[in-house]
């Protein structure tokens, strides 16, 4: 047996996913730029790595972490007083007063308590530190929750309902967890809304193939930008209760809602304001992380989940599973503390913090409207407005000739489109509806980028798109 044959098929699928292929191509093209490309750099708008897009980090967070990593800065007179006080408290919460020490597998108790206080203040519903579990990012948290559910073989295998489209990292993550993916279609013509009929259709269609045990929701939607209202959330909760499904709710972009007459409402808040038959029985796991829009600290790899209405034995499982990770990076845990309890009015760092976070939200809101209007003016493109989050998810209506060429190459239409866009214009966009159940063709575009970067992206995209629809695609050599 060759080494290639020995590779786990699941690993091979992840390795060959459209996003991975496009990322590898981007790296190759970056090396070629100086020799034969008309553009000077590859611009990545496929994923929400805001710091890579040269957006500035939050000063307060970085200053406090700098002091925590190098406590001698406590003597630096140029740093604001609240930065030093906060850093001192966080260092006191670490064993040995150092970020170099291990923590409990579920996270620092001080940080878990801060998160519980944040949730309590946000929802007006009590939250408790023992129900909070800190992980190396929300994706790791989701993996732990899903592995708890994974069981059975054949028609008894665990099924998880996932939206179509869904976050581009979710499909391979759940595939690795060895559960059956049960896509439910979001309603594009209604701004990517979650519709109860589509949930029932997905469930009925898969009953003979697996045992559905959970439903995953992204709110605000990733990559759709949809934000659910209270009525929609109530309907999903009632559906989960009737079908005895665990709710897995990704709320990472809760800090970035900018749609008119829309606000973020957590699933927990709505659940606990419903009748007792729901509030005391529906099992809920919600997720949040440093990858939120205003923080954008993707590289620190820290997130958390709050577990609600779970059996104590299940809670023990979460804690026990996290022991295998030893602990989430301590600097990431401390950053979580700073995210959930930022500077308050009257603090020396407050004005700067508000200025920086409001700038991020203003950038998102402005870019979302501008890009949507721009895309809807392009021939063969339609784009629903975003109400929150950091992505737009436009639909491509491509000529039959382009579709045929994609078919000959064994590629999906949107993958070929993104490949050619990358090769000819140096723009890396996200391709594909992971878990999709239609043949529609879409792009994933991150809009949390500086205005000059956005200008360049739109200029390159327009040039490529009009050229593509006006002529033919030259297939790339395999």
Q: What is the pLDDT of residues 313-366, one digit of tens each?
A: 777 777 777 666 667 899 999 999 999 999 999 999 999 999 999 999 999 999
Position 433 scores a pLDDT of 59
Position 478 scores a pLDDT of 31
How far lies 390's CA from each of 37, 132, 238, 252, 269, in Å? 29, 26, 29, 11, 23
| 372 & 335 share domain | no
SS3 content of the chain, % helix, strand, coil (to 5): 50, 15, 35
Overall pTM surpassing 0.85 (yes/no): yes
Q: Give every CB contact of residue 316 below 8 A, 6+ residues apart in sequence.
A: none
- Among 428, 387, 444, which Cα is nearest to 52's? 428
| 28 & 114 share domain | no
Residue 400 has pLDDT above 60, yes or no: yes
Q: What is the mean pLDDT of the chain?
A: 89
> How does pLDDT run across 57-88, given as a tens digit for each residue?
999 999 999 999 999 999 999 999 999 999 99
How many CB atoms are located within 10 Å of the residue 186 CB?
24
Contact assessment for residue 168 and residue 47, using Cβ atoms and an 8 Å cutoff: yes
The reply to whether 283 falls in a domain is yes
DSSP H or E stretch at residue 430: strand 430-431
> Which one is predicted more confidently, 196 or 316?
196
**Of all residues in the chain, what percent carry a pLDDT higher than 90?**
69
Half-sphere exposure of residue 26: CA atoms within 13 angstroms, side-chain side: 20
The reply to whether 478 falls in a domain is no
Residue 5 has pLDDT above 70, yes or no: no
Among 288, 311, 340, which residue terminates a domain?
340
CATH number at residue 105: 3.40.640.10
The reply to whether 83 falls in a domain is no
Domain count, the chain: 2
Position 449 scores a pLDDT of 94
- Among 296, 342, 356, 291, which Cα is nearest to 64's? 342
Range of the domain at 243: 93-340
| 247 & 335 share domain | yes
> Which one is predicted more confidently, 34 or 413?
413
The reply to whether 204 falls in a domain is yes
Q: Give me the mean pLDDT over the 200-220 stretch.
A: 94
């Amino acid at each position: 047996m060759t080494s290639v044959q020995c590779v786990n098929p699941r690993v091979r699928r992840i390795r060959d996913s459209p996003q991975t292929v496009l990322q590898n191509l981007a790296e190759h093209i970056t090396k070629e730029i100086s020799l034969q490309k008309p553009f000077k750099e590859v611009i990545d708008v496929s994923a929400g790595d805001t710091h890579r897009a040269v957006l500035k980090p939050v000063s307060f967070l970085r200053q406090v972490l700098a002091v925590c990593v190098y406590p001698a800065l406590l003597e630096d007179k140029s740093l604001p007083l609240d930065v030093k006080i906060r850093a001192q408290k966080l260092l006191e919460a670490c064993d040995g007063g150092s970020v170099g020490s291990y923590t409990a597998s579920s996270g620092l108790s001080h940080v878990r308590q801060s998160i519980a206080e944040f949730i309590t203040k946000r929802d007006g519903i009590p939250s408790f530190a023992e129900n909070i579990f800190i992980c190396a990012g929300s994706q790791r948290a989701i993996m732990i929750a899903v592995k708890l559910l994974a069981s059975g073989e054949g028609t008894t295998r665990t099924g998880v309902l996932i939206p179509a489209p869904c976050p581009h990292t979710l499909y391979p993550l759940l595939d690795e967890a060895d559960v059956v993916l049960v896509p439910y279609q979001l309603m594009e013509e209604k701004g990517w809304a979650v519709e109860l009929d589509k949930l029932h259709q997905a469930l009925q269609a898969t009953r003979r193939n697996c045992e559905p045990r959970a439903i995953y929701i992204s709110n605000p939607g990733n990559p759709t930008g949809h934000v659910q209202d209270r009525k929609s959330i109530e309907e999903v909760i009632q559906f989960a209760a009737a079908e005895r499904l665990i709710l897995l709710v990704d709320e990472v972009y809760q800090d970035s809602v900018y749609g008119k007459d829309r606000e973020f409402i957590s699933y927990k808040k709505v659940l606990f304001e419903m009748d007792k038959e729901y509030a005391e029985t529906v099992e809920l796991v919600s997720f949040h992380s440093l990858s939120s829009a205003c923080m954008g600290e993707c590289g620190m790899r820290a997130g958390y989940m709050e577990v609600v209405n779970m059996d104590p034995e299940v809670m023990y499982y979460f804690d026990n599973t996290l022991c295998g990770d030893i602990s989430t990076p301590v600097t990431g845990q401390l950053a979580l503390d700073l995210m959930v309890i930022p500077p308050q009015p009257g603090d020396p760092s407050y004005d700067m913090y508000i200025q920086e976070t409001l700038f991020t939200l203003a950038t998102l809101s402005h870019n979302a409207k501008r890009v949507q209007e721009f895309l809807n003016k392009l021939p063969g493109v339609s784009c629903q407005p975003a109400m929150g989050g950091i992505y737009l998810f436009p639909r491509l209506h491509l000529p039959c000739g382009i579709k045929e060429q994609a078919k000959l190459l064994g590629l999906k239409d949107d993958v070929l489109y993104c490949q050619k866009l990358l090769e000819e214009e140096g723009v890396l966009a996200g391709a594909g509806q992971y878990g999709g159940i239609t043949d529609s063709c879409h792009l994933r575009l991150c809009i949390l980028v500086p205005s000059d970067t956005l200008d360049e992206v739109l200029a390159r995209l327009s040039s490529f798109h009009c050229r593509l629809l006006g002529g033919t695609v030259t297939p790339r050599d395999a």
